[in-house]
Chain A
Amino acid sequence: MSPEDELRLLTVLRDKERHCIERLKAAGSLELVFWDDPNKNPPNLSRAEFERALPTIPQVQVKWSQRDSDKGKYGKTGEDQVFMFEFEVTSGRLVSTFYVKGFFFNKDDLKGVEIQSFRRERVAPRGRGKKKLKLVKS
C-alpha cells in the first residue's frame, strides 16, 4: 500500500464524524484482526468471506455497547465500545443476512479493527421481481 493510500485510509478511520461502516471499510484495508472458527461451524464465516463482503456493506444502522472484557489481542488498547450490526447481501436467487461485531484499535492511535464475530443470521429465497425485461429477439 502506498503511503498516500495509507494516510487516506487512516484519515477516514480517525474521523469519528464519518459513518461507522465507512470507517470499518478503511480499517479493514489497514489492519484487520479476525477471529476465525477453525471448524467452520455454521453459521460462522471466515476472514476471507468477511474481506469479500466488506466492500459491499451498506451504511446500515449500527449499535454500540460497552466492551465486556479488556482481554484479547487489542483488548487493553482497543476502543471501549464494540459495534454491532446486520446487513444483507443478495446474489440473484438468495438474500443472506449477516451479523458483525467488533471494535477499532488503538484507542488513542486508531489503525485497525478487530472482528470478534461474523456469521450468517438468515438465508431466504429472493422473490423474483415483477419487472419483466424484454426477451431477446433471435
Chain B
Amino acid sequence: MSDCEHPNIVPGNIRREFLGRRFEAEGEVCADCGFELWDNSLEEKYRVWINKLGLRPKVQFKVSAEADQCFRKICEELPTSLHSPVLRAMILVYLDLIGGGEKFGNIVNDAFDSEYFQRLEEGPKDKALSTEVSAALLHDLTTWGNLFDMKTNELASDAFHIIISLCISEDDKLKEFWESEIKPRLDNFLKAA
C-alpha cells in the first residue's frame, strides 16, 4: 500500500454495507487513491445509522461439555440465570476490557496460557451456544475481530473461554481479577438488561 498523503480531495459519495443494509452519505474522497475522509461528523452519522438498524443478528459458537457445565454454574450466581443475556454480557465485558490496554492484555495472556483454558478449548466441542446481539454490538465484535484478524464468532468464543477461565481458576491473580473487574461488570450489565 502506498503512503498517499491525499493531496487531491474532491466531493464524493461514501457507502458502507453492514448486515445487508447500505449506509450512504456525502463526503470527501482522495482523487488519487480513492480513500475516504472520515471525520467525527461522518463517524457519528454512521454510528446513529447502525444504532437504528433494529436488527438482531446472532453470535454462535460451540463449546465442550465441560465449558458448558462451567457456564451453567456461573449463570446460577449472576442476577439472571438465562444463558443468552449472560453470554451477551460476557461478550460486552470482554470487549469493554480489551480496550483497556496492557493491564487486561496481560491477564488475557495469562488466562489463555493456563492449563484450564487449554483443556476447555481443546476438548470435543458439541454444545452450541448462541445469543442475539444488537447491530451495534455485532459491529463492535466485527471491528475487534478485524483488528485481531479473527472471525466474529471466533472472537466471541475466545471471550467466553477467557472469562470462564478467569472465573474458575485457582490462581490468585486471575481470581482477584475475576472478583474485582469481571463479576461486578457482569452484574451491572445484567441488572441493567
By a CB distance below 8 angstroms, the chain A residues around B192 are none
Q: Is the interface of A mostly helix, strand, loop or mixed?
A: loop
Give the distance in Å from the alpha carbon of A137 to the alpha carbon of B6 in the complex.
59
> B5 touching A67 by the CB < 8 A rule?
yes
- A47-B43, A48-B139 known; A38-B35 Cβ under 8 A: yes
> A129 touching B36 by the CB < 8 A rule?
no
> B115 touching A135 by the CB < 8 A rule?
yes
Size range of the chain B interface in the assembly: 35 or more
> B146 touching A56 by the CB < 8 A rule?
no
| B7 CB within 8 Å of chain A | yes
| A63 CB within 8 Å of chain B | no
> Which of A38, A89, A91, A137 gathers most chain B CB within 10 Å?
A91
Give the distance in Å from the alpha carbon of A7 to the alpha carbon of B156 in the complex.
37
> A133 touching B116 by the CB < 8 A rule?
yes
Give the distance in Å from the alpha carbon of A116 to the alpha carbon of B28 in the complex.
14
> B149 touching A96 by the CB < 8 A rule?
yes
- Kindly count the residue-residue contacts between A and B in the assembled complex, taking CB atoms under 8 Å apart: 153
B138 to chain A minimum Cβ distance, whole angstroms, is: 12
| B19 CB within 8 Å of chain A | no
Interface residues of A in 46-96 (CB under 8 A from B): 46-49, 52-53, 55-56, 58, 67-69, 71-73, 75, 89-94, 96
By a CB distance below 8 angstroms, the chain B residues around A33 are 37-39
A52 to chain B minimum Cβ distance, whole angstroms, is: 6
> B158 touching A49 by the CB < 8 A rule?
no
The stretch of B54-62, B85-93, B95-103 that contacts the partner chain: B95-103
> A133 touching B148 by the CB < 8 A rule?
no
> B143 touching A32 by the CB < 8 A rule?
no
> A32 touching B105 by the CB < 8 A rule?
no
By a CB distance below 8 angstroms, the chain B residues around A20 are none
> B116 touching A135 by the CB < 8 A rule?
yes
Interface residues of B in 92-129 (CB under 8 A from A): 98-102, 105, 108-116, 118-119
